[in-house]
Structure 1
Amino acid sequence: MRKYELIRSEIVTMQNRSNVKGILSSILTLPSRPAAVFIKIDLPEYEVLRAQVFLEDLSEKLEDAFQLTIVDLIALLLKDFLHVASTTTKMEKLKDSLLEKKAQFLSKTERIEEFVEVTPAHSSLRVRDKPRRIRYFTLELTIPRKTALRLEIVLYDLEQLFKSFRMSVEELVSIVFLEFVHHLKIGKQKDMIKRFIQCFG
């Protein structure tokens, strides 16, 4: 998806609506906008599998009353992100958090420290970036237009406030998902299951 494509589209639609006046407005109908936006994101295969196992565990706890997919999970996570971003988070804190998570989750390299022998009796610590060996799974998502537009607006606001900030909707969606999986990895699966059961149980 091109940068701020939805924002531009929304502004053009608003301008077109305001230009159609009087009797013409009842005769002319403007083309309808698609209700959803299609995006593709690349996620580490293992992280997608971990999320899938979580959803299966959740389904068992709910006695198969709900069968959530990865796409459903991402939709819920985005809804939660937008709620938090619009109600409780200061913009500078949000910017710092997103940039930190982008470096943590989306970097194609990892920083490693290793001792290198300089002389037979002396070693030196060297820090270098090493490419991560990760296989990726391409996930194709259809996001409600309203949600995608709100995500774009959050990113646009951050970019206007902080000139060094750059992030695409695809990167943001990936970060929201990978942060959730990170919580599962560090042992918060039970808390997550409880939270989801409260929503669906």
Structure 2
Amino acid sequence: MAYDHYVAICKPLLYTVIISQRVCYMLEVVPFLYSTFVSLLVTIKIFTLSFCGYNVISHFYCDGLPLLSLLCSNTHEIEVIFMVLTYSNLIFSFLVIIVSYLIILKLILRMKSAKGRCKAFSTCRSHLMVVMVFYGTLFFMYVQPKSSHSFDTDKMTSIFYTLVIPMLNPLIYSLRNKDMYMKKIMEKIIKHN
């Protein structure tokens, strides 16, 4: 979406040429294949090691970090793989989004029309809100020292980014819709009563 917004705002006349059907497929297929590869790599690596002792995961879904606590084997190699993949995925994807929005912000600030600035900013506002909340929880969950990891805190954080944020997405993205403003909603409720 960050790339789509970048093209829509910075190169609006070339939008249909740049965001072609082929580019849309590539933007879908490449992350899908990459995430499948990373998930399989970590899963296969974890399940080639031996588990021992208590076999109940203190989590509400099967994530890599809680599984590591159940391993008897030396987990150093899988921890390094997990850390490198996590940090590179988070930082690379976050940087792509930030760079695209910095370019957009630079263009918006150069616009002479206040109405044009407002319209361009409203195009990005909802996506930026979702990005900040989502990446904030991911950085909180995965980019912290091992000594400060608490599985109870991790459970709450993972509930937030797997359940709460997706539930908020329709509400956040509909903020651009003029019918979603609270004043309009209240007027409609009052008129119907």
* TM bracket (short chain): under 0.3
**TM-score with structure 1 length normalisation?**
0.24
Structure with the bigger RCO (C-alpha within 8 Å, sep 6+) is 1
Structure number with higher helix proportion:
2
Structure number with higher strand proportion:
1
